């Protein structure tokens, strides 16, 4: 049985169809990335999975007992709400101090427990959100553009953390991302979404498909071709090669 099965899912928001005929299956331990233009329904699909929007039609089945960790796109905590990091991590369920410390270490931000949440940098806060998702001991980790607002190094570091989390917990990861070069590097499977699933498969296959080119334009393809040219090693990714250093990412971003 799949960890998560979605069949023929339709979602309408305010009378407008946002998702139609979505079919998607996620297996334990794989990293799947959703790409697609703005308004293509990526966030809505994640929100349907956590149960925040009700599907108009279709099937969405989690394997029984599957724990979900969710890292939202952004979270604005009102400045009037005093909240330490450790208090935030203990919501809504309390965890032992040791577990909280471990989650902070796993997310790459050890020792931040006593800080006020509102005093954190964007990158630190994203990692706190990750730590909170990890405390749920997720079988499926959902990340909605979790690197929004992070610089190139921060983004690369964040995804490296995701990989190591996947290795340690063996959880599946479903993420929405605009960082196309990261998609190439970090995913087992890419799903290209534009209200419906345009194409899905290994990153190589998706980039080569006409549907993808049509959505993202030829420029994107060039950038990725350049990336492939520059980094032949990425073909060995499946056997667990170390990820190229973060500096490469910023180099990539300025490539034409």
Partner 1 sequence: MLDDFLVRAALAGLGVALAAAPLGCFVVWRRMAYFGDATAHAAILGVALSLLLSTSIFAGVLVVSLLMATLVSLLSGRGYAMDTLLGVMAHSALAFGLVAVSFLSGVRIDLMAYLFGDILAVGKGDLALIGTGALLVVGLIGWRWSALLTATLDADLARASGVDPKREQLVLTLSLAVVVAVALKVVGVLLIAALLIIPAAAARPFCRTPEAMALLAAAIGAASTTGGLQAAYWLDTPTGPTIVSFAAILFALSSLAGRWRLSR
Q: Determine if 16 is a binding residue for partner 1 (CB under 8 A).
A: no
Binding mask 110-149 for partner 1 (x = CB under 8 A): ------x-------------------x-----x-------
Q: Is 66 helix (H, G, I), strand (E, B) or coil?
A: coil
In 3D space, the residue among 144, 111, 101, 138 whose CA is nearest the CA of residue 126 turns out to be 144
Structure tokens at 67: 């724990």
Q: Which residues pair with 31 in a beta bridge?
A: 173
Region from 15-23, 64-72, 96-104, 218-226 binding partner 1, contact rule CB under 8 A:
64-72
Which of these segments, 86-94, 161-169, 214-222, 229-237, binds partner 1 (CB under 8 A)? Answer: 86-94
Q: Measured at the alpha carbon of residue 113, what is the angle toward residues 137 and 104, in degrees to the nearest 5? A: 35
Q: Which one among 30, 55, 61, 84 touches partner 1, defined by CB under 8 A?
A: 84
Among 15, 92, 210, 256, which residue sits at the site for partner 1 (rule: CB under 8 A)? Answer: 92
Q: Between 83 and 211, name the residue whose CB sits nearer to partner 1.
A: 83
Count of other CB atoms within 10 angstroms of residue 115: 17
Strand order in the sheet with 140-144: 68-71, 140-144, 172-176, 31-35, 189-194, 196-201
Q: Which span (81-89, 163-171, 202-210, 217-225) binds partner 1, by CB under 8 A?
A: 81-89
Interface with partner 1, residue 47, by CB under 8 A:
yes
Q: How far is the CB of 201 from partner 1 (least distance, A)?
A: 28
Using the minimum distance from each CB to partner 1, give the nearer residue, 53 or 182.
53
At its nearest, how many Å lie between partner 1 and the CB of residue 32? Answer: 18
* CA 214 to each of CA 37, 126, 184, 225: distance values in angstroms, whole numbers, following the listed order: 11, 32, 18, 16
Binding site for partner 1 (CB under 8 A): 47, 50-52, 68-70, 72, 75, 77-78, 80-84, 87-88, 91-94, 116, 136, 142
């Amino acid at each position: 049985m799949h960890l998560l099965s979605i069949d023929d899912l339709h979602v309408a928001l305010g009378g407008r169809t946002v998702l139609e005929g979505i079919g998607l299956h996620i297996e334990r331990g794989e990293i799947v990335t959703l790409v697609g233009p703005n308004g293509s329904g990526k966030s809505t699909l994640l929100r349907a999975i956590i149960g925040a929007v009700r599907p108009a039609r279709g099937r969405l089945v989690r394997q029984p007992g599957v724990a979900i960790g969710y890292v939202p796109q952004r979270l604005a905590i009102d400045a009037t709400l005093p909240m330490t990091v450790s208090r935030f991590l203990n919501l809504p369920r309390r965890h032992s101090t040791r577990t909280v410390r471990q989650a902070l270490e796993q997310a790459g931000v050890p020792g931040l427990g006593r800080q006020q949440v509102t005093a954190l940098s964007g990158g630190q806060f994203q990692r706190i959100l990750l730590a909170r998702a990890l405390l749920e001991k997720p079988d499926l980790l959902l990340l909605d553009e979790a690197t929004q607002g992070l610089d190139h190094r921060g983004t690369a570091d964040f995804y490296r953390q995701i990989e190591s989390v996947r290795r340690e917990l063996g959880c599946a990861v479903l993420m929405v991302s605009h960082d196309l070069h990261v998609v190439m590097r970090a995913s087992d499977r890419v799903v290209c979404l534009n209200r419906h699933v345009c194409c899905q498969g290994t990153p190589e296959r998706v980039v080569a498909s006409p549907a993808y080119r049509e959505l993202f334009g030829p420029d994107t393809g060039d950038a990725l071709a350049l990336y492939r040219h520059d980094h032949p090693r990425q073909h060995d990714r499946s056997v667990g090669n170390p990820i190229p250093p973060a500096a490469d990412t910023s180099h990539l971003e300025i490539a034409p």
